[in-house]
Chains A and B, each alone.
Chain A
């Protein structure tokens, strides 16, 4: 049997999506790349400068400091999110009423804005009125309220606590979907085989939910590499500019110093780095499967 191919009909079916992608993804990206080769200012004006923004970027110690800080944040946060997300997913994947409630409650923070949650936690960490400080003091973990945002370490811890609260439910839901897609008779067979919880997790759940775990990891890494709101609202980049993230530094250049062209170049560099990291993760994933 011969199938008649009609390319134009296919294109017509795709056109709404193509139009949407062109207007809202492709065009901004092309515009961004173009901007990065100019000295455009937020106040208008500017001219073609070739690779000047890029050479500046590679010699900008503040940008690379921000980049390293973002990387550190990602490297600390991702295992916490994935480990906790996996543990929670294990806990809530059976469909019992109490577990469904736990699932919903854990997922709730995911649907509120990151800005709102950052503000909420900013006040919870406050040294005078913060309930979190109060709790730690009452539990005798701290002797007196801590000024969380005066030091880089404690500021990082505070942001990580707040972000974990905010997004751990997202990884949990993705991983839970992976666990729930494992046929229940495999678990019954494992029960008959006498597998302990640890053996079931290690030999059955982890390998069979691996795809969802890796997907959650990729999304979580991308999210962390793009961190902005939480630092903007909680640390303001301080103390002494030590908690600027990459995106925060891009924001500083584009909207505080009005240097849109330079900001665009930094954005392009960050985009390429994240694309490379994602490609690497996905390659590792497909190799791990083979």
Chain B
């Protein structure tokens, strides 16, 4: 079955644009224009040159020798942690800021969880001289302090979201409200493959550079474009969508999506949406959503702020429903251990989000000598306090 978004923004049963009328003109403007703008030569020239010289692409596809030895497979790490600002998020913000400029927008807003998307947005706003406001859950502001200060240094205004669980979903609510309040001059840079159509597909397209590069890099290193397995962590699902994108329709490639199981999938403190979620509507799209029987959104839990979201992007809900991707839940404690393990076997301190993907190696089956690519979505600098607080190293 082809994985492809349809005209109305659906991947199978999931997607769409369930938005208040107040946002209709903005979303419609974007839907009508984004593909043509992104395809234009002037856009591509600016985009490609920024990806290369500002972001530092292509990022290496690194053969992880000691990790491979310890798991008995051939493991490559796609080094998105080496992107400028420390995670894959900047691929999308570079793509969207050029788009916003071409649409004549003057002001940028964004939500952020771990702060990586906020930093990546503040960075491109500084680059383009655009006014920038970032909405961030009050709880996340506390646990991702360094990123908050990075945003401020870059000239962004950081506004705390004080409603609900005070994390990513609430920051997203606040950003949507802010967009309603200034629909003409503002562009909303959503940070993952969530939100109303066309955002999920647009963000996936900007992140698809990850699997585009993996293909040619593997070809030159291994003589084949397709690995046996691709593993990525899923918060909203943008790094996973980017790593899976050019493999969606290659059935020989196993896609493994790693969710945060928090204190245990059935502990009541988890963010494992594929297991706990039911179809519902959040932030403008129909997707799998953690909710009560009454349809109220449940407050998720993960030790990593970037995975602490009660939904997943509609494309992942679809991949799950049709069985195209395997979903794995990794608990807080295991993710922390995997973070330390990667630090000591490969000299790479990963973001805690990413550490979930590393631990998945213990939870999936594979054959000896399988070729596995793990998307190393970000580095751990922002998480030092969490590592220190955990302390078990």
Q: Do A and B come from one complex?
A: no
- Chain B residues in contact with chain A, CB under 8 A? none
- Chain A residues in contact with chain B, CB under 8 A? none
